[in-house]
Structures are given as structure tokens and as C-alpha cells.
Amino acid sequence: MKAANSLFLLLLLLTTTVSARADVLILVHGYMGSAVSWERSGINALLEANGWRRSGILAGPQLIVAGGASENKSYAVELPSLAPVMVQADHLQAMLRRVSALHPGESLIIAAHSAGGVVARMVLARAGAPQAKALITVASPHLGTARAVQALEATDTPWPFWLVENFFSNGAYRAVKSSRGVLIDLTPAIPGTLLHWLNTQPHPEIAYYSIVTPGPVGLGDELVPVFSQDMNNVPALQGKSDAVAVVGGHALNPQVGIALTEILARID
């Protein structure tokens, strides 16, 4: 009887230990991206091969498939990426609440690409993700990007002349023009901008990782300068982020997936 009780306690301890190690990974896409971006890039396959089971896509009221309590799992979110940062942050915060309700007691790790990293930090700065224990950003414009300014200037054409430009750009002009709110939010962080305000707000004491894409000459990729991608350059996060450089451009790619899995293996 004593041996049986000891065996029961050992099994209970092992079960508790496994459950405690289970985490939920939230994948946040960037500007003009989607939840499918993580699939097309091959990153989801790399994650699953390393123990992060695909568990569904979060998109509005859609029902999602929950993973087991004792295994790591990942969800990709679908955000209105053309909307201002605050609007996207509201959507993401609501999705994180749903995940936390589905997986009580499990920690959240947020991995966010490009503008999604700014959206994720907005949620964290507003204390909207109490179960989060780490943020990993990929090529995110934490200090803004001049490309946002260029896009705003390029789409500053009055009606009806912009209809002609939209026709010759196969609709891309309309899409960029309709996203002026988020483009304004991503302009360089100077006093009076959203990024300047966000970058001075207290952030939670969690782990921070910056995956940066230095580009061929080390100055950044085609959209975001490398200094803007490193969260250590955010006034509120100086010295708090580990930076990892990867080869490639701004888009998600397998090299990013490899770096992401290596970072995830380091997070307690």
C-alpha cells in the first residue's frame, strides 16, 4: 500500500511538472500580413517540429481548437493590419484574454513580426497581457521607419487623381492610402508621435528578445533600419532585450524560424 501511494505521488509530481512547463505561443503578423504569413514562410512547420503544436487561428469570434494542458502550443492571430496601432492592440488584447481563459495558469509568449511588435508592446504597456512572460519581435520598427513617411507622402494625392494611380498599381495604392492611420503611428519616434509616447511608458518585467535583420551592409532591411529593430534602443527597455541577427530581408523566412525556435528553447 505504501509503495502504491509513493507511485501515485511520483506520477502526480511528474504530471504537475510537465503541465507547469507548458506555454502558449502567440504569433502576431505585421503590416499587410495575415495569420497565414507564419505558415507560408515555413515557420509554423519549424515550430511544430520543435514541440510547438499548431492549435488554431484567432480571428474575431471564430472558435479555436485548444491544445493539451501538458504540451506547448501556438496560435496565430488575424489582426486588421491596416488599422491604427491602438485599434489593432484592442483586438490583440481581446484575443489574449480568450487564450488565457482557455489555458488558465499557462504562460504566454508573444512573437510578433514588423508592426505587430509595436502592437504587442502597446498591449503590454497597457497591462493587457498579465500571463505574458516573454516578447519576441522580428524586424519591428520600435523607433519608427522613414518608409512610413515615404508611403504617406506617396499617397497624398487628392481624389479623383489617386484613382488613376490606384489603377496602375493594381490596387496597392488604395490599400496603402487606407492605412494612413497605422503609417502615421509608425513614423520615426519624435515628441508628439505615438511611438515616442509608447517608448517612454513602463513595460512589464518579462523577457525581451529582438530578432533583427541587418541587411547586406548592416544598416537594416529594406523597410526598417537595424537600430529601430532593437528594443534596447527603446528608452523604457534599455539593456533589457537580447538581440539576435538573422540573414534575409524584412519578410518572414525559415532563418527567422530557426532563430525563433532557439530563443524559445532558452525561455524558462
More confident residue, 20 or 192: 192
CA distance 53 to 263: 17
End-to-end CA distance of the chain: 37
Tell whether the model's pLDDT for residue 14 goes beyond 50. no
Mean pLDDT (whole number) for 112-139: 97
Residue 11, pLDDT score:
40
Q: What percent of the chain has pLDDT over 90?
A: 75
The grid coordinates of residue 132 equal: 505574458
CA distance 220 to 139: 9
Instruction: Tell me the CATH number of domain 23-143+190-266, given options 3.40.50.1100, 3.10.20.310, 3.30.70.330, 3.40.50.1820.
Output: 3.40.50.1820
What's the predicted TM-score (pTM) here? 0.86
Within the chain, strands assigned E span 23-28, 53-58, 73-77, 107-113, 132-138, 207-212, 241-245
CA distance 42 to 256: 10
Residue 70, pLDDT score:
57
CA distance 258 to 262: 6
User: How do the residues of the chain divide into helix, strand and coil, expressed in percent and rounded to 5?
Assistant: 45, 15, 40
Residue 268, pLDDT score:
84
Mean pLDDT (whole number) for 124-143: 97
The grid coordinates of residue 240 equal: 533589457
Tell whether the model's pLDDT for residue 166 goes beyond 50. no
